[in-house]
Amino acid sequence: MISYQIPYGQTSLTFTLPEDHPADLIAPVEAVAVADPLRSVSEVIDSPLGGQTISDFAGARSVAIAINDKTRPVPLGLLLPPLLQRLEALGLPPQAITLLIATGTHRPMPPDEFAAVLPPNIVERYRVLSHDCDDESNLIELGVTERGTLVKVSRHFYQADLRIAVGNIEPHQFAGFSGGVKTAAIGLAGRAGINHNHALMMLPESRLGDYETNPLRQDIEAMGAMMGVHFALNAILNNRKEIVHALFGDPVAVMQAGVPLSRQACQVAVPGRYDLLIVSPGGHPKDINLYQSQKALGHASLIAREGGTIILAAACLEGTGSQHYEAWMAGGVHSFADVFARFKGEGFRIGPHKAYQIARDASRVRTLLLSEMSPGFVRFLLLTPIDDLQAAVSRAVAGLPPGTRVGVMPIANATIPRLA
């Protein structure tokens, strides 16, 4: 027997496969972390891409920094201290610096959760606010992009003299890659704008790993330009969530430099489609809920044989992560056909789009889910629950003839699989 290990929540799971069914390991390359991340971050801030420097904003009286919520493994404890140190060196007092948790359409984070994303000393020293995309009183309307997206943004961000977006550059299932302006452009936008932008995912060009010609991603760039994001501070992480590259500067320049690096690390060529895939989003926080874990299913389905099997191990300790998704499913949806019909009839909406994405993939590939959600609730979501990974793997393998292709994707959310 051959042993394999995949992340699951804050821990990991082990399973075995018989020697006549070895699995291909489909994962980003093992990249070496920088030796001194704080020094590396400091160096890129002092030598920004795109020409403009922080010192050019010496007269600024306020700064707003967009940061990701707890669903993203952004190493803010390493990225923010050098940045904040330089901002204070400009003469900005701590009270002039606001950290905005860019939740997008995710639920706002209450203050007692701030410590989940920020070191305590930062929470104590600076003003921290969580965005609410439905709070119109805190949104400023800026106009409409060429693709028709109504751009509204947090007034706390837009009214600051200096505006910075902080996050990771990593693969994204329909935006191509995260990073650059995205933390602010989507994370601090209004619901209607996010909904219109994300509806562009239905276009075939809006796909995983495509940045340069991705219409949804280019719409995000337009949103960020209207919001006036001055700088992006981004990290590229390895499989252990350590910093491999740090980039700072003009947001477009940062993406132009960072996307090839992320693509090189995360794109994996595979020889053909797989009959069985055992998949993990990558552990916490990538599997914090089904909203995030669906991305692993989407990435794996790109290389799954129609009629094959995907076993998804995702803890989902916070359930689906979307009340809109759950309420929509409770409104008379009992089959994949119901999902497709209702989604087509009502049009694109954030939340229900997860039901569509899951139905799109699970209708063509048998999908089994190991999670901490109740079996009944998993069935309500039109997925098949399992409670024993090894037993499910053994049953799936038992039905396969020798030589059948089997794959393991331990960090599927960060993997760009490509058919060779």
Taking 80 as the threshold, does the pLDDT of residue 403 lie above it? no
Question: Distance between CA atoms of 161 and 180, rounded to whole angstroms?
Answer: 19
Over residues 45-71, the mean pLDDT reads: 94
The pLDDT score that the predictor gives to residue 215 is 98
The pLDDT score that the predictor gives to residue 283 is 96
Average pLDDT, the chain: 96
Sequence-ordered list of residues with C-beta below 8 angstroms from that of 218, at least 6 positions apart, any chain: none
Taking 90 as the threshold, does the pLDDT of residue 28 lie above it? yes
Domains and their CATH numbers in the chain = 2-29+267-419 (3.90.226.30), 37-237 (3.40.50.11440)
The pLDDT score that the predictor gives to residue 38 is 97
Over residues 278-294, the mean pLDDT reads: 96
Over residues 348-364, the mean pLDDT reads: 95
> What's the one-letter identity of residue 138?
N
| Apex 213 CA angle, 207 and 218, nearest 5 | 90
Taking 80 as the threshold, does the pLDDT of residue 394 lie above it? yes
The pLDDT score that the predictor gives to residue 399 is 81
The pLDDT score that the predictor gives to residue 71 is 86
Taking 90 as the threshold, does the pLDDT of residue 201 lie above it? yes
Q: Which two tokens stand for residue 373?
A: 């959600």
Share of the chain above pLDDT 90, in %: 95
**Tens digit of pLDDT for each residue in 312-355?**
999 999 999 999 999 999 998 999 999 999 999 999 999 999 99
- Name the phi and psi angles at 386, rounded to 5: -130, 155
Over residues 84-104, the mean pLDDT reads: 96
Taking 80 as the threshold, does the pLDDT of residue 120 lie above it? yes
Of 53, 4, 10, 49, residue with least CA distance to 25 = 4
Q: Which two tokens stand for residue 24?
A: 């291909």
Over residues 89-110, the mean pLDDT reads: 95
DSSP-assigned letter for residue 84:
H
Q: Predicted confidence band at 233 (pLDDT cuts at 50, 70, 90)? A: very high
What does 187-253 look like in DSSP terms, one character per residue? TTB-HHHHHHHHHGGGSTTS-TT--TT-HHHHHHHHHHHHHT--EEEEEEE-TTS-EEEEEEESHHH
- Name the phi and psi angles at 252, rounded to 5: -70, -40
Taking 90 as the threshold, does the pLDDT of residue 142 lie above it? yes
The pLDDT score that the predictor gives to residue 413 is 96
What does 11-54 look like in DSSP terms, one character per residue? EEEEEEE-TTS-EEE-----PPPPS-HHHHHHHHHHS-BTS--G
What does 122-182 look like in DSSP terms, one character per residue? HHHHSEEEE--TT-GGGEEEEEE-TT--EEEEEHHHHTSSEEEEEEE--EETTTEE--TTH
Over residues 273-286, the mean pLDDT reads: 97
The pLDDT score that the predictor gives to residue 1 is 87
Taking 90 as the threshold, does the pLDDT of residue 401 lie above it? no
pTM of the predicted protein model: 0.94
The pLDDT score that the predictor gives to residue 321 is 94
Taking 90 as the threshold, does the pLDDT of residue 64 lie above it? yes
